[in-house]
Amino acid sequence: MDLKNLISEATIILSLEATSKEECIRSLTSTLVDNGVVSNAEVYVESVLKREETGSTGIGFSVAIPHGKSPGVTEPGLAFARLQNALDWESLDGNPVSLVFLIAVPEDKAGSEHLQILASISRKLIHEEFRNKLLYAQSSQDILDAISN
């Protein structure tokens, strides 16, 4: 799964001001609406929030990877935000989250597509150097470069 085909500068928010998980997810979703990945924001956001209810997607390392498989999605896509103020995400390690990847996958896609995207992101996050690049990038382009590399 090549992440650079899923994300673009337009779906990266370098410094997002959000006071809740839902607000963060909604802001990221609007970037996916703008680039045509999400056709129905309400239906998609609902699927993402429903997934969060079954167990937090905060995986530790200050990172959360919310995701939704939904008929409100036209094609697979990925958005990223760095939060101005870290948010409580009920993370597995108990720490607040400041880096958020939002995955969108159409309902009719083969079952494991979001898992493949999740795996690709995880493979990168294993490296501390990559996590630091996300934390200290000066521009959306820097983040895009780190993810595309």
CB 112 → another protein: shortest distance, Å? Answer: 5
Contact status: 55 vs another protein (CB under 8 A):
yes
Q: Which stretch binds another protein (CB under 8 A): 21-29, 38-46, 55-63, 72-80?
A: 55-63
Binding part of the chain for another protein, among 2-10, 15-23, 97-105, 110-118 by CB under 8 A, reads 110-118
- Compute how many other C-beta atoms are within 10 angstroms of the C-beta atom of residue 126: 9
What are the C-alpha distances in Å from 21 to residues 70, 89, 119, 122?
Answer: 19, 7, 22, 21
Task: Give the distance, in angstroms, between the CA of residue 133 and the centroid of all CA atoms in the same chain.
Answer: 16
114 has catalytic annotation:
no
Backbone angles phi, psi at 13, to 5 degrees: -110, 110
Number of residues interacting with another protein: please give it, by CB under 8 A: 17
Catalytic one of 7, 24, 52, 67: 67
Considering the rule CB under 8 A, would residue 132 count as an interface residue with another protein? no
- Is 116 one of the binding residues for another protein (CB under 8 A)? yes
- What is the helix, strand, coil percentage profile of the chain, to 5? 45, 25, 30
Question: Known catalytic residues?
Answer: 67
Residues that bind another protein (CB under 8 A): 55-57, 59-61, 92, 111-112, 115-116, 118-119, 122-123, 125-126
